[in-house]
Structure 1
């Protein structure tokens, strides 16, 4: 078992054991993270204390996930045993929900988690005035097509009323794209006031003093931090949080009979969002989380966008988003924000353009004909797995493995999956 904790003051001398097991989130830029945000979240405004606790839990989960390699004995998805010592303001409600948090984190990442909650001794920090009064909801804007469509449809629904777009910035190259999408939504909807809050938060590659962290790149828990930060903002005026994601990908259908949770992250899975809302509320945090696109395929989302703003504008808007799950093409001389064209995110994107009839203006690396990319693209391609998935079809055992919440009818999930697989078949035959 690997154990981690979080502290708020950097020691005068950091031992190797402390460097391996402790993340330092200090009031100054001397710790383990790159961010302007401090442990009390005063930058956001008067955040509800339990929501600041939730952010600290999510930061610790994310940092631990990044710092323990999965690749053991040749298995790239080995199950890890992780223990976290989590600082919170009032331990009692968190201790009462401990088992549920452990199970939820296991569902999200596929690991075994154990948690201990202790009373935090937090450093003082200034609390900024809240800058977005009157916003009716917070919408997470990642830079992907789904979040962009969700934010567009949400603003169209609100009309002249206000929403707040919130973006987590892990790598700085995504930040300009997020700002561009927010600007496009403002222009397309005629919104008089569409605030967009971006926040960079990433674990450093090294501890202060030079001790390097291991770097596991498969992090399935990063979006939990995105959700927790969004809920912290939403807690100030107790408004809802929207995390838009197409329902087909959210169901996380297995690509083969012996795989589970292999299509995409489980962060927007209906069970995960339901349980997160319930267990966070039981821990006294503000936690109404909704996926407004849960009943739609990605192709249906693209079609709805075309109906709303016109096919040409939809083509430009959707093509400006980013869906690729890989960044390794930068080592081959291509910008990190390029689209490989062969990962699951790219294949689903291409199929959605095809199914909706909207012109795809995206440049995909697999269409460049560059022979230097052949091995890279072949090693990262999901096309063979998807072709096998489509050939064998969805089996009853696949549906039974979905872990749906009680209110989600299996028939509705089956119908959604059938529509989603039909869209994939327009690209992969």
Structure 2
């Protein structure tokens, strides 16, 4: 079992694979954020601990390659030693936390916590009071969530958008989308926290880390950063995503969880909120679109903004999960058009009747690109999925919380499948 240590300084002897999170050049991590989160303001201690845990988990996830093939690809065992301010508290929650991570990434996690003194950092002044914090990934769902949050603010109220990126092409998309959003309802205000926090490719001695690209735990870090911001203001955190993708029905029996990651799965959010409330931490995580399809979200945005503004705003978002197009000279700002994120996006625009101005990779550009697009396309699997549909017994296998009614899940998935069907037929 691979074991990793997260360390806050380089003075301790290294007794295994370690990641160093420091404020100087001797850091395993890119980004300006320090391990005490001082630049954010007066973050509560347990939220600082949660971000440290998430940083360690994310770095370890990136450092253990998966075995692709069959069902082995998502069955890793990973252990961590993590420095926190309250080791006793987190030790009492270790099984609860590990279970959440197991569900999120499909792996088996175990954690040991050690008391660590807070790293010395200047603490920023408390920013303007916020009524809400919204995760803002740059995708269409987060763009609509930020729009809904802004429109729900009273005049002169403020909300905070929180973004995280590891791939450099995402940050300009997030910033440009936020600038567009700021032009709507000008009497409401917002700020935008953008975090670049990622493990470096090499260790401090210059040797390369093993690298795993899937990184399903990145969303756990994203949530922890959002919660740190929300805790300063004592408010809830929104993570907007359509409920159809959140439920995460598989495209076929051999592709469990293939529609998306489980970041907004009702079971994961229920478990995370139980951890927060059981720890006495302020705020909860909310998905304002847990009962909506993506097409319904797009239709709502069009009703608020009108056809032209909604088309311009949402087409500037990014839903593509692929990076392979760059091997054929296609910029990463151009969507592949054939991954599930792209197919769901295209079907939702079509279902709402919204003009899609998104730039998609064209198979006419080259024979090589056309072959790659055909090879990675999910269109055939989606057509089969639409033809088969989802049965109640399929939903019963998706680990939905006990209070999530099966009839509601069936209705939501039926509406989502209908939107896909209109596009892929």
TM-score of the pair, normalised by structure 1: 0.95
2:141 to 146, 156, 159: 146
Which ranges in structure 1 are unaligned for 5 or more consecutive residues?
none
Superposition deviation, residue 274 in structure 1: 1.3
Choose which of 45, 67, 70 in structure 1 pairs with 2:41.
45
Query: C-alpha displacement at 1:278, in angstroms?
Result: 1.0
- Residue of 127, 130, 137 corresponding to 2:132: 137
SS at match of 1:194: strand
Which residue of structure 2 lines up, in the alignment, with residue 216 of structure 1? 212
Residue 325 of structure 1 pairs with residue 321 of structure 2: yes
Alignment of 1:89-104 (within 5 A): 89-104=85-100
Residue of 224, 227, 236 corresponding to 1:228: 224
Alignment partner, residue 28 of structure 2: 32
**Structure-1 separation of matches of 2:3 and 2:249:** 32
- Tell me if the contact between 2:250 and 2:258 (Cα under 8 Å) persists in the aligned partners: yes
Contact 2:154/2:188 (8 A) holds in 1: no
8 Å Cα contact 2:51/2:225 also seen in 1? yes
Higher mean alpha-carbon deviation, 395-404 vs 287-296, is at 395-404
TM-superposition CA deviations, 1:312-341 (whole Å, max 9, x none): 111111111000001121121111121000
Q: Does 1:157 align with 2:141?
A: no
Equivalent residues of 1:166, 1:198 under 8 A apart:
yes
User: Deviation digits for residues 369-395 of structure 1, max 9, x if unmatched?
Assistant: 432202321232111111111121112
How much has 1:72 moved relative to structure 2? 5.5
Whole-angstrom CA distance in 2 between matches of 1:301 and 1:73: 35
| Matches for 1:305-384 after TM superposition, within 5 Å | 305-366=301-362, 368-384=364-380
Structure 2 runs not aligned, ≥5 long: none
Distance 1:356 1:321 in 2: 16
- Post-superposition shift, 1:103? 1.0
> Is residue 414 from structure 1 mapped to residue 410 from structure 2 by the alignment?
yes
> In structure 1, what is the equivalent of residue 2 of structure 2?
2
Task: State which of 72, 75, 78 in structure 2 corresponds to 1:82.
Answer: 78
CA distance in 2, matches of 1:274, 1:287: 13
CA distance in 2, matches of 1:191, 1:382: 43
Answer whether contact 2:37 2:48 (CA < 8 A) is retained. yes
C-alpha spacing 1:163/1:419, structure 2 compared with 1 (3 Å): same
For 1:166-205, list aligned pairs within 5 A: 166-205=162-201
Determine if contact 2:64/2:212 at 8 Å carries over to the other structure. yes
Match in the other structure for 2:423: 427
CA 1:72/1:296 → structure 2, altered by over 3 Å: closer, same or farther?
A: closer
| Residues 104-125 of structure 1, C-alpha deviations (whole Å, 9 max, x = no match) | 1110000011111221233211
**Contact map agreement 1:278 1:287 (CA 8 A) in 2:** no
* 2:278 aligned with 1:282: yes
> Per-residue CA shift, 1:177-236, capped at 9, x if unaligned?
111111111112224422111111111111122111111011111011000001001111
Aligned residue pair count: 424
Cα RMSD (Å) = 1.7
Instruction: Report the Cα distance in structure 2 between the residues aligned to 1:109 and 1:287, rounded to whole angstroms.
Output: 24
1:172, CA displacement in angstroms?
2.2
**Distance in 2 separating the partners of 1:75 and 1:7:** 33
Report if aligned partners of 1:147, 1:245 keep a CA contact under 8 Å in 2.
yes
Q: 99, 107, 110: which is aligned to 1:111?
A: 107
Preserved contact between residue 5 and residue 85 of structure 1 (Cα < 8 Å): yes
Is the CA contact (8 Å cut-off) linking 1:50 and 1:284 kept in structure 2?
Answer: no
Change (3 A) 1:129 1:356: same
C-alpha separation between the residues in 1 aligned to 2:271 and 2:255? 23
Report the Cα distance in structure 1 between the residues aligned to 2:364 and 2:40, rounded to whole angstroms: 44
Q: Is the 8 A contact 1:97 1:282 kept in 2?
A: no
Give the direction of change, closer, same or farther, for the CA distance of 1:215–1:317 in structure 2 (3 Å limit).
same
SS of equivalent residue, structure 1 residue 361: coil
Partners in 2 of 1:97 and 1:192 — Cα distance? Answer: 39
